A and B are shown apart, each in its own frame.
Chain A
Amino acid sequence: MTAIDHLPAEPVTRAPGLLRRLPTSGVAMCGLALILVWVLAAILAPVLPLDPPNKSFYAALAHSAPSAAHWLGVDKSGRDILARIVFGARQVLTVAPTAAIAAYLIGCPLGLLAGYYGGWVDAAISRLCDVILSFPIIILYVILISTIGPSVLNIVLAVVIAASPGIARIVRGLTLEQRHLDYVAAAQLRRESAVFIMLVELLPNCRGPLITDFCLRIGYTIITIGIMGFLGLGLPPPDPDWGTMVKEGTVMISVHPYVSLFPAIAIVTLVLGFNLLADGLRELALKE
């Protein structure tokens, strides 16, 4: 072996990880900014100079339009709309991510099992997912919630049932792509357990598409919670819920349109934030 047989190897330069490159994507940063505004509002709600969200200002009912005292006006019970929106953000920003995470906790293992084992395990899991996915989702929600009743827990449960098959399908596809790659064979050859291979070898490589999907799914869950509220199946009153607020406002939309308008805008901006973030992440992942 000659002396120059090996020069010190220069590591191949590659772009750094997805999250570290996030600031280079304008779209993603816009989305993140929107989300952060709402997260800050939700966290700071108790210390902000807001009216109590459930208190009725009967005096304000006469002039319910936006004013200096009530920036966004008051609703039909005389409650301050701005306060209700900000406190509603607390609600939605805890329930939606919780529901999405719960759906992932169910969907990921199912997808891994189906993709890794194949055969009848795959057939059974895929069939179950197909059945749930062939329901028009809203009908599934309506039936579930109207049967088990509206509560935070039940909404999370409904989201898990409706969303986990979609997650399982994505994870299954990603697992199948890797299933026959050599590093999986290498792990089998040193007799790693199936659980180790699924969780340590396969799952981490699914993270790119899953991060994007997670953002999209939170956005979609926010919409779902909004829809449930709008249909009258939302979180129980009197605590503020954006969908319910929009619903209550539609009754007097011809007189006081802002009662519906402001909570609707709140939902749209928050969902837009998550969608922009997801889109930016997806673009970044493709650029690799």
Chain B
Amino acid sequence: MTSPLLSVENLRVEYHGASGAVTAIPDLSFAVQAGESYGIVGESGCGKSTLLMALMQHLGRTGRIAGGRILFDGADLTAATRRGIAMVYQDPNAALNPTMTIGSQLAEVPMLVPGVGKREALDRARQILADVQLPNPERVMARYPHQMSGGQKQRVVIAMALLANPKLLLLDEPTTGLDATVEAAILDLISELRARHNTALIYITHNLGVVAQVCDRVGVMYLGDLVEEAPVRALFATPKHPYTRRLMACVPHLGSTKHSTSFLPIPGQPPSLARRPPGCPFGPRCDGFAPGRCDHPVPDETTEADHRVRCIRWAEPGATLAASAAPLAPSLPDDEVVLKAADMSTVYTFAGSGFRARKVRLLANAGLSFEAHKGGVLAIVGESGSGKSSFARVLSGLYPSSDGTLAFGGVDVGRRDVTQRTAAELAAIQMVFQNPDATLNPSHSTEFPLRRVLKKFGLAKGERAISAEVDRLFDLVRLPRGLRRQRPSRLSGGQKQRVAIARAFAAQPQILVADEPVSALDVSVQAAIVNLLLQIQADKRTTILFISHDLALVHHLADHVVVMYLGKVMEQGPVGRLFAPPFHPYTEALLSAIPVADPDAVQSRIRLKGDIPSPIDVPPGCRFASRCPRRIGDICDTIPPPLRDTGEGHEILCHIPVMTLSELQTKKNEFVFN
């Protein structure tokens, strides 16, 4: 075996703050071979970014490498040899200088090499922009970052990294925050460039699906420790560390739904760095914790040739729980239609800046028609800009619809916003928001919004009744009552989202609108929140409108799915029908872009060109025509497509006949979910 390209030996990283030293990484060793793709997974705060910054020799003024060494290309890593390592950053919006053109930012990199002039540097920049498949590199060079979309900016950042001709490329969550279809295209690009330049990768992510797709070997990090390391297939087939196993039990699996399994969340939350447990870092949250053994320092153990695990009980049978749990007996939808949208449209009108500015009209929802049944989960999926959040705002009363009806219990509520709805209507439709940090007012205790809801809707009278009801709601969402008087800043993201759910259920709603309620949370927390929602639903038979961009999650929990693109329903149907051919071409592309957490999954490879167009000037024909990989001709651009019914309430909005779609799609692949 040749010597590795990068070798990290017993690395120790500390931060020195006002309150003393904190160890972020106690003792970490791993190696990356030339040309290899090495993934590091873990939840937020586990030390992934610290590791990257240590590799880049950029720990800031408070951080320092307190022990161990990093060998790169056979020699100690120094500021000079670091030139062979380049980095792709998490947030491309922030990573680029807003006041410099793309061209001059790129040209800086080649010009660092002595003897390379501006002209040569610009030529190379132009060339590399073509390599990362940005159309019209000449125009891109003259642009400023704010004139480009997120996906395009990430391509620029990748181009900037490649200009240094790195032997090792560090990728720090490079697709987090991008839409699934854009993410898939970026992942393709990275794989392609890696094959072409034989660059080694260290890929940092919290997304097990991404790791499964792009990495050869994977390390799992927890609290600064690499708790398990194995080739990607071995890791996914036989995860050995309890943390790895629990992580995998938190993400949706192929072919499983809420009726067959439930997620198995990890209890508690990671301790802060300052309170690292004495032995196994995962010990306090591990159900296989053995007193007297796990609270002493744990050595690395090698289970197979290249499978390391830092758990002394890995070989003991039954030491840890299974990787998934029995289903929760979820609620089933009945025949009663609670909510019925009929040809509902929403138009936003923006006044331009200054007076006499042109008015801009934006059709956020165009003729939505669907039904939600009592006790069911109706999922609305689509990428950003698809109008799914606009619909949530209309339903909850934050914005009035413009056309058509949105009937709740037979009465149209769509045209009336909060000020015009009756108290009963307001209470009946409650909302859980996306961002846990914005959902609670930082100035008030967690119980404050619950009390206000009870008071405003007259659901509990008198201090004692209100207090008892708040206690009951905290129990409902499984939060300790002791948190009632805490400020939100002392709660974790998952706890805040639980308070938000309690606030929604305080009004005893019939419909719960959940707008991406888990997308900002770590997977283990996400699993717990999804379980919680399903449990409460089974108990109260609330109808849930679950808005999400995550098709895998939707497959797990939905009963009926609506796929939206640019404000229009492209396809809808029962979950079983929607995830089987025939698909609308857009659904097909979305499915093929899911990063499935299984390295052996066979997925069709359909990639969409470009970005979602602006919803202001929509094409007269099919809204998806400009990006459709199955476009059949001018008819797609000019004539609105017909709605095709395939039975059982499954509808597809497409010019291509259902039979043809079925043939095209089944011939090509067996789809992953069925």
Contact = CB atoms under 8 A, between A and B. Distances in A.
A185 B433 contact: yes
A181 B438 contact: yes
Contacts of A9: 268-269, 479-480, 483, 492, 495
A279 to B, nearest CB: 18
A204 interface: yes
A24 to B, nearest CB: 8
B398 interface: yes
Interface in B486-542: 486, 489-492, 495, 500, 503, 507, 528, 531, 535
A198 to B, nearest CB: 13
Task: From A2, A24, A207, name the one whose CB has the most chain B CB atoms within 10 angstroms.
Answer: A2
A183 B480 contact: no
A13 B489 CA distance: 9
Given A8-B480, A183-B439, A188 B325 contact: no
A12 B434 contact: no
Contact of A190 (B265, B287, B456, B489): B456
Contacts of B503: 186
Interface string B275-288: 00000000011010
A191 B449 contact: no
Nearest to A180: B438
B486 A11 contact: yes
A126 to B, nearest CB: 12
Interface in A185-214: 185-192, 201, 204-205, 207
Contacts of B396: 185, 189
A7 B479 CA distance: 10
Contacts of A204: 441, 443-444
Contacts of B18: 24
A186 B439 CA distance: 8
Nearest to A8: B480
A6 interface: yes
Contacts of B491: 11-12
A190 B500 CA distance: 13
Contact of A7 (B268, B398, B500, B531): B268
B443 A6 contact: no
Nearest to B19: A15
B669 interface: no
Interface in A1-58: 1-2, 4-14, 24
A186 to B, nearest CB: 6
Task: From B272, B285, B396, B438, name the one whose CB has the most chain A CB atoms within 10 angstroms.
Answer: B438
Given A2-B325, A183-B438, A201-B441, A189 B452 contact: no
B11 to A, nearest CB: 26
A190 B457 contact: yes
B604 interface: no
A34 B348 CA distance: 55
Contacts of B328: 1
Contacts of B271: 10
Given A181-B438, A201-B441, A205-B442, A189 B426 contact: yes
A178 to B, nearest CB: 9
A13 B272 contact: yes
A8 to B, nearest CB: 6
A197 to B, nearest CB: 10
Contacts of B272: 12-13
A215 to B, nearest CB: 20
Given A8-B480, A9-B483, A12-B491, A192 B456 contact: yes
Interface string B287-327: 10000000000000000000000000000000000000100
B414 interface: no
Interface in B452-476: 452-453, 456-457
Interface residues of A, number: 30
A12 B525 CA distance: 15
A255 B282 CA distance: 79
Interface string B197-213: 00000000000000000
Nearest to A188: B418
The SS class assigned to the B binding surface is: loop
A115 to B, nearest CB: 16
A6 B531 CA distance: 12
B630 interface: no
A188 B490 contact: no
Interface in B398-423: 398, 418-419, 423
B129 interface: no
A71 B483 CA distance: 60
Nearest to B286: A4
B285 A186 contact: no
B440 interface: yes
Nearest to A205: B443
Contacts of B535: 1
B452 A10 contact: no
Interface string B25-65: 00000000000000000000000000000000000000000
Contacts of A183: 438-441, 449
A189 B397 CA distance: 7
Contact of B267 (A6, A13, A185): A6
Interface in B91-122: none
B331 interface: no
A183 B503 CA distance: 11
Given A2-B325, A9-B269, A189 B486 contact: no
A185 B449 CA distance: 12
B486 A6 contact: no
A189 B418 contact: yes
Contacts of A181: 438
A188 B396 CA distance: 10
B433 A14 contact: no
A204 B442 CA distance: 9
Contact of A186 (B325, B434, B449, B490): B449
B478 interface: yes
A182 B456 contact: no
Given A7-B285, A9-B483, A190-B456, A182 B492 contact: no
B603 interface: no
A234 B16 CA distance: 53
B75 to A, nearest CB: 39
Nearest to A11: B490
A5 B438 contact: no
B152 interface: no
Interface of A: 1-2, 4-14, 24, 119, 181-183, 185-192, 201, 204-205, 207
13 contacts: A6-B478, A7-B267, A9-B483, A10-B269, A11-B491, A13-B490, A182-B438, A186-B449, A189-B397, A190-B453, A191-B419, A191-B426, A204-B441
Rank and list the top 10 A-B pairs by shortest CB-CB distance, nearest first.
A204-B443, A182-B433, A7-B268, A181-B438, A183-B441, A11-B490, A182-B439, A182-B438, A190-B456, A7-B267
Given A10-B269, A13-B272, A189-B418, 6 more contacts: A1-B535, A7-B268, A7-B285, A12-B489, A183-B438, A187-B452
